[in-house]
Amino acid sequence: MQRITEQTATEPVLEEGSSLTRDAMHRLFKNRLALVSAGFLLLLILVALLTPWIAPYAYQDQNLLLGASSPSAQHWLGTDTLGRDQLTRILYGTRVSLMVGFVATAVALGIGVLWGATAGYLGGRVDNAMMRIVDVLYALPFAIFIILLTVIFGSSMLLLFLAIGAVEWLTMARIVRGQVLTIKRQEYIEAAIAMGLSRWRIIRRHVIPNAVGPIIVYTTLTIPSVILLESFLSFLGLGIQPPQSSWGSLISDGVENMENYPWMLIFPALTLSVTLFALNFLGDGLRDALDPRASKD
């Protein structure tokens, strides 16, 4: 930072400071990969929202006469064995996968932040007990439990949201707790206490603003792992059930037919992987931009 101003004669105009957030945004905008990723994701979200209106066909429309056909002018990405339009199926799959990704991440975020912040802020025995619970849960084979749950209750969107959210909150809780603990030890918190601020004001003005950065970063990185988990379950046939499609179930269909109709595998696989790339690049970009080490002198 070379913006240190020497004390000169008083000028009437106030100099504008540059907040950490603004500096971070500035760094993010210089990261082309992260920007392209963000653009791609925005486009994907837009498309997913508008799918019912822009999809060329209905997702359950079959054309058994056509069967599996390679990409053509009518069906840009070809059709599956039942003659369903692949592009339409992928678009609807995107809707499902993104929805699971966002909602389950929101669930994880909600539980994780609340749990981690409480443990970190209260500290002491409460913290010990709460984090012990997280440790214990960490040791459990969650993927297996989710499968167990889908077997018992049948798979539904709601179950997926809850089950995946329930797995992913653990790491979130750990990260938030660590962050809160670090902030709590900072002298500016001590200074705030010494000033006579109320606990709530300290949390609101001093703790939360300093904790959001890493939470945003980790949230961005949670979404791809949630999408992955959902696709994993759907691939095994335990997640989204037909006739609905998700990326996982489309890939599963593709694998069965890849010898004869490779496009059935390639397009959904490509969509999934590109989305994962974009989310990871954006997450890494955000992390680099928000890294406190980069923003210190």
151-180: which residues touch other proteins (CB under 8 A)? 151-153
Query: Residues 206, 217, 223, 286: which binds other proteins (CB under 8 A)?
Result: 206
Evaluate the omega torsion of the peptide bond into residue 71 and state whether it is cis, within 30 degrees of 0: no
Please report whether residue 16 would count as binding other proteins according to CB under 8 A: yes
Please report whether residue 255 would count as binding other proteins according to CB under 8 A: yes
Residue 20, classed as helix, strand or coil, is: helix
Minimum gap (Å) between residue 230 Cβ and other proteins: 11
Instruction: Tell which positions 39-78 bind other proteins, by CB under 8 A.
Output: none
Please report whether residue 123 would count as binding other proteins according to CB under 8 A: no
Q: Which of 19, 270, 101, 94 is nearest to 262 (CA)?
A: 270
Please report whether residue 21 would count as binding other proteins according to CB under 8 A: yes
Structural tokens at position 208: 């939360």
Q: Which of 39, 33, 38, 85 is nearest to 62 (CA)?
A: 85
Question: Closer to other proteins at the Cβ: 13 or 64?
Answer: 13
Please report whether residue 18 would count as binding other proteins according to CB under 8 A: yes
Cβ contact 49:55 at 8 Å = no
Distance from C-alpha of 44 to C-alpha of 232, rounded to nearest angstrom: 21
The distance of Cα 43 from the centroid of its chain, to the nearest Å, equals 16
Instruction: Tell which positions 271-290 bind other proteins, by CB under 8 A.
Output: 272-273, 276-277, 280-281
Question: Closer to other proteins at the Cβ: 74 or 198?
Answer: 198
Question: Closer to other proteins at the Cβ: 13 or 73?
Answer: 13
Minimum gap (Å) between residue 56 Cβ and other proteins: 25
The distance of Cα 154 from the centroid of its chain, to the nearest Å, equals 25
